[in-house]
Amino acid sequence: MSYFRVMVPMFVAAVMWVSSAHAMPESFADLAAEQADSVVNISTTQHAKQRMQGMPPGMQLPQGSPFNDFFNDFLRNMPQQQQEKHSLGTGFIISADGYVVTNNHVVDGADEVIVKMRDGTEHEAKVIGADSKLDVALLKIKAKGLKKVKIGNSEALRVGDWAVAIGNPFGLSQTVTAGIVSAKGRVIGSGPYDDFIQTDAAINPGNSGGPLFNTRGEVVGINTAIYSRSGGNNGIGFAIPINLAKPILDELKEKGHVTRARLGVHIADINKETAKALGLKSRDGALVPQVEAGSAADKAGIRAGDVIVSIDGTPIRKAHDLPIKVARHAPGDKVKIGIIRDGKAKVITVKVEAMPDEQTAQNGNSSSGVSKVRLGMVLENLTSDLAARLQTRVKKGVVVSQIQQGLPASRAGLQRGDVIYRINGSDIKNMASFSKMAGQFKPGDVLRVMLDRRGDQVFALIKLPKSKADR
C-alpha cells in the first residue's frame, strides 16, 4: 500500500509536467493539411545577355597582328546571346486577395516571378517591395478568396518548442518537416538585424521564404538560411522571427520600401579592459566610440564614450541589440536612451531620424523617384572605420558593399569595396548626394565614375540599359 501511496502522486506530477511542457503531438498531419493551401512554390527567371568572348577554339592570331582590332570590333558588335537563370523558393499567403511573403534573395534580380499554388495553378507575381537587410519580400498575385496563414507571436517561442516547416526543397513541393526551436536570437553575420530563430526542422535549398509554424499552426518565422558544409541539411536552420518581419511587411505593402530609424552613433561591444577603464560593473551595453555630427544622437546630447544600456527601458546586452531595437521605431519617434557616463546613469530622449536613402542603399535604384534604372549594386556611406579598413585615400563617398552579376555595375568592372566619390564630374560625398544624382539618371546614359580602390584611382564607365530587355 505504501508503494502506491508514493507512486500515484509521482505519476500525477509526471502527467502534469508533460502537459505543461507541450508534449509531442501524435501527428502533424492536421497542421500540414490545414496549411497546405497557404504555402506556395515560387520560381523565378532572370534574363542575362552575354556576348561571345575571345576567338573560337583553334583560331589564334599572332600577337600584334593587324587583324586583332578587326576581330575585337567584330566580337563587340555581335548580337548578344540570351541566357536564362532559374531559381526556386517558397512563400506563404498572408491575405485572401493575393499578398505573398518570401525571401528577398529568392526574387532579387528576377525578371519573372511565378507563384504556383497547391492545385497546380500558376500566377505571375509582382514584387511590391523588398528589404535586403532583413531578407524579406512582398509579392502580389491577381487572385481572390485565397487561404491565408495565421500569424503567431515569435516572442512567445521557447527553446525546445516544436516547430514545423513546409516548403519546396529541391523542387519537392509541399514537403513537411518537424523539429524544435534550437535557439533564439542567433547572430550569423548576415547583417545588422540578425536575430534568427534556430531550428533543427529540416530546411534545404528551395525552403527559402517558406513558413515556420508553431504547433497551433501559426507562422512564427520565415525560413531563410542553413548552416551546411555540403549544401544540404545538417540540422541547423535559421528563420526570421515573424515579429521582426511583420512591421516591415506592413511598410512594404504601404510604401514599397522600408525607411528605418537610426540614432547616428557608431557602437562596439564592451570588453574586459573597457569595462575596467570605465568603471563598469558589467560588460552589458553598447559603447559609443563615435557620434556623427548633426545626427539625432548628437542633437540630443549623446557623447562619444557613453555606454548605452537601455532603450525605452529594455536592456541592451550587446552592441548588436541596439540597431534591432532602434529599427523597430519610425523616424521621428522619441525614444528614451539609458546611458552610463562617467560612472553615472542617466536617460536621454532622442528623436530618431530616418536612415539616409535606405532604399537606394539596398538596390542601387528606387521605385520612388530616386533612380529610373537598375544599377545592380548595394551601397553604403563611407565611414572613417570603412576608410581605414579599405585603405582608401578619399574620406567621403559611397562604398560598394554588394555587386549583382549581369547588371550595369558588374559589367563596368566595379567590385566590392570600391568607393565611388565622383560621377559625371560631380562629387559624391554620401548616400544623400548619390541619391540626388541618381534621380537624374536616364535609361541609356553613360556614367563617368571615379573610384578609389584600396588607394588606387580607378575610372569606369557605367552604361545604363536603354530598356528592361537590355539588362
Q: Annotated binding residues for substrate, as ranges?
A: 105, 135, 206-208
Q: Is residue 135 flagged as an active site residue?
A: yes
Q: Is residue 65 flagged as an active site residue?
A: no
As a residue count, the chain comes to 471
Q: Taking Cα atoms as reference points, which of 145, 156, 136 lies closest to residue 117?
A: 145
Q: From the CB of residue 145, how many other CB atoms can be counted at a distance below 10 Å?
A: 7
Strand stretches in 366-427, DSSP E:
377-381, 398-403, 419-423, 426-427
* CA 199 to mean position of chain CA atoms: 19
Q: Which amino acid is at 272?
A: K
User: Checking DSSP bridges between strand 175-186 and strand 162-167, what pairing results, if any?
Assistant: antiparallel
Question: CB of 256 within 8 A of CB of 249?
Answer: no
Question: CB of 285 within 8 A of CB of 316?
Answer: yes
Write phi, then psi, for 128 (nearest 5 degrees).
Answer: -75, -40
Q: Which amino acid is at 431?
A: M
Q: Is residue 257 flagged as an active site residue?
A: no
* CA 243 to mean position of chain CA atoms: 15
Check residue 398 and report its DSSP letter.
Answer: E
| 3-state DSSP percent of the chain in helix, strand and coil, to 5 | 25, 35, 40
Widest pairwise Cα distance in the chain = 109
Question: CB of 178 within 8 A of CB of 190?
Answer: no
Cα Rg for the chain, rounded, in angstroms? 26
Dihedral class, residue 76 (left if φ above 0, else alpha if ψ from -120 to 50, else beta): alpha
Q: Which residue has the cell 478568396?
A: 145
Task: Provide the annotated binding site.
Answer: 105, 135, 206-208
> In 3-state terms, what secondary structure has residue 15?
helix
Q: Which of 38, 43, 87, 105 is catalytic?
A: 105
Q: Which of 43, 208, 310, 366 is catalytic?
A: 208
Cell of 451: 573610384
Q: Which of 87, 108, 131, 135 is catalytic?
A: 135
How far apart are the C-alpha atoms of 413 and 256, rounded to whole Å?
Answer: 30
Question: CB of 239 within 8 A of CB of 223?
Answer: yes
Q: Taking Cα atoms as reference points, which of 197, 203, 216 lies closest to residue 154?
A: 197
Q: Taking Cα atoms as reference points, which of 191, 189, 171, 177 lies closest to residue 233?
A: 177
Dihedral class, residue 185 (left if φ above 0, else alpha if ψ from -120 to 50, else beta): left
Q: Known catalytic residues?
A: 105, 135, 208
